[in-house]
């Protein structure tokens, strides 16, 4: 477990909180997934400006910069971004700010990145329940197969991943991505 000073603390606490709750009541797995996803997004989008203005993670990780910003306001003005989120526009901004092989790029090159994108469509469907979000969930997360309720998708075991449920795969991926964000990689 990580200590309170570690940027991953809130995320890892959220994961642990839901672990036992889900075992006792699998019906709440959608809520657990959603809360963990949001905590990860918060961590990811927090670290972009932290590294961009030259700060290090609490564990001493820093990213090499192509350009440095004096503070958060300077970064917002120069990028014309007031809120950082995980999307294709942010990928372009990250490429302009950071040297190659930065943590954000490493995450997006990870073999699980496409699964993360699938999970993002699932998160959008859980959050909005709109027809468009449902179509994207079916198209991307379910790969045009028959509709599955989000709970059933998360509980579904994946034979190609050693019988691991999609939820367990998601949690493992999020922990790995969070570690790449704040710890120096060898």
Share the mean pLDDT of the chain: 94
Confirm whether 4 is domain-assigned. Answer: no
* Residues of the chain above pLDDT 70, percent: 99
In angstroms, the CA 168 to CA 13 distance is 16
Enumerate residues 6+ apart whose C-beta is below 8 A from 148.
Answer: 142, 156
Confirm whether 120 is domain-assigned. Answer: yes
Confirm whether 142 is domain-assigned. Answer: yes
Confirm whether 160 is domain-assigned. Answer: yes
Confirm whether 168 is domain-assigned. Answer: yes
Residue 102: pLDDT over 80: yes
In angstroms, the CA 74 to CA 68 distance is 10
Band of residue 1 on the pLDDT scale cut at 50, 70, 90: low
Confirm whether 1 is domain-assigned. Answer: no
- In which domain, by residue range, is 35 found? 9-182
Model-level pTM?
0.94
Per-residue pLDDT of 45-84, as tens digits, reads 999 999 999 999 999 999 999 998 999 999 999 999 887 8
Band of residue 135 on the pLDDT scale cut at 50, 70, 90: very high
Half-sphere exposure of 31 (CA within 13 A, CB side): 9
Q: Which is it for the CA torsion 13, 81, 51, 106, positive or negative?
A: positive
Confirm whether 170 is domain-assigned. Answer: yes
Confirm whether 128 is domain-assigned. Answer: yes
For the chain, what is the domain count? 1
Band of residue 111 on the pLDDT scale cut at 50, 70, 90: very high
């Amino acid at each position: 477990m990580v200590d309170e000073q570690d940027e991953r603390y809130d995320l890892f606490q959220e994961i642990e909180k839901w672990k036992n709750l889900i075992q006792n009541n699998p019906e709440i797995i959608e809520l657990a997934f959603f809360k963990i996803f949001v905590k990860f997004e918060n961590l990811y989008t927090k670290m972009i400006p932290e590294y961009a203005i030259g700060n290090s993670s609490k564990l001493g990780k820093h990213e090499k910069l192509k350009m440095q910003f004096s503070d958060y306001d300077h970064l917002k003005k120069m990028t014309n971004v007031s809120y950082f989120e995980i999307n294709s526009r942010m990928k372009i901004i990250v490429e302009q700010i950071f040297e190659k092989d930065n943590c954000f790029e490493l995450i997006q090159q990870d073999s699980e990145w496409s699964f993360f994108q699938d999970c993002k469509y699932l998160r959008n469907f859980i959050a909005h329940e709109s027809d468009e979000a449902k179509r994207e969930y079916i198209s991307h997360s379910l790969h045009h197969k028959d509709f599955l309720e989000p709970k059933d998708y998360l509980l579904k075991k994946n034979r190609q991943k050693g019988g691991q449920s999609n939820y367990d795969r998601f949690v493992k991926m999020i922990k790995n991505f969070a570690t790449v964000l704040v710890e120096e990689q060898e």
